Amino acid sequence: MKPLNKRDNKMRLSVSIIVILAWSLGFINTIFADNFTADFETGDLTGWTKTGDAFDFQPTKGDNPTARNRGQASQHQGDWWIGGYEKYQGKSGQKAGDIQGDGPKGTLTSAEFKIVGEKINFLLGGGTHPTSDASGATAVVLLVNGKTVRESTGKNTETMSREEWSVSDLKGQMAQIKIIDENPGGWGHINADDFNQIDAAGNRISFTSTGVSVDLRGKLATSWGALKTSY
């Protein structure tokens, strides 16, 4: 067999690099296909599955309760947040302070993610209606295998405060966050924003770095940084 010359070697190397890059891009997309917007700063519901009509005008933009002189500032993070009573996204025909009221009902369920932190925290407001309320819930729950393992409700105020779940006993399991607005009565809405996983040192872990698969060398790859060093 005729030995390969330098040109043939370079061509083979180039083809190999192209194949590896194409495969790796597909691999990365597979890992992170289930990302979801945990702080809603995308201005949309990327990665969340919606049912009903309660979240048709979500996320809402800015401190809409203050814009309607509610006297209860939202205390949201960034520009966008889930406000079940609100109907303002800065779009044409809308004005700050617009509302949809408590009537609409529905849910938002996040893409699946791996629990890797010691805690999960988030901002929470709205009505106090647990899932045991026969008239319908206004709650945020954590699902593992479709079952509720953590639950929190608002405190009958538009002003959100930081809620925290200890999840150390659930580490390594796949989970989803579900935002529930199924109560059409008084305080029949939920407010939520800025979901985070927290490690033992108190540092935030982005949900976008918790996709899980196996890299080319058979080691666990849990972030883009880890993937980059694999090649």
In a domain, 37, yes or no: no
23's CB contacts (< 8 A; 6+ apart) are: none
What span, in angstroms and rounded, lies between the C-alpha atoms of 80 and 89? 9
pLDDT tens for 21-72 read 444 444 443 343 347 899 999 999 999 999 999 999 999 999 999 999 999 9
Count: domains in the chain: 2
Any idea what the CATH number is for the domain that residue 164 is in? 2.60.120
Range of the domain at 170: 48-209
* pTM recorded for the entire structure: 0.77
66 and 24 within one domain: no
Contact assessment for residue 80 and residue 61, using Cβ atoms and an 8 Å cutoff? yes
203 and 222 within one domain: no
99 and 57 within one domain: yes
pLDDT tens for 5-26 read 555 555 555 545 544 444 444 4
In a domain, 39, yes or no: no
Q: Average model confidence (pLDDT) for the chain?
A: 83
What span, in angstroms and rounded, lies between the C-alpha atoms of 54 and 21? 42
Is residue 32 exposed (0-12), middle (13-18) or buried (19+ Cβ within 10 Å)? middle
Classified as helix, coil or strand, 191 is: strand
105's CB contacts (< 8 A; 6+ apart) are: 52, 53, 54, 136, 181, 182, 183, 184
217 and 197 within one domain: no
pLDDT tens for 182-213 read 999 999 999 999 999 999 999 988 776 554 43
In this prediction, residue 1 carries a pLDDT of 53
66 and 52 within one domain: yes
Asked if pLDDT for residue 101 goes beyond 60, the answer is yes
96 and 67 within one domain: yes
Question: In degrees to the nearest 10, what's the CA dihedral of 53, 136, 45, 114?
Answer: -150
- % residues pLDDT > 90 (the chain): 72
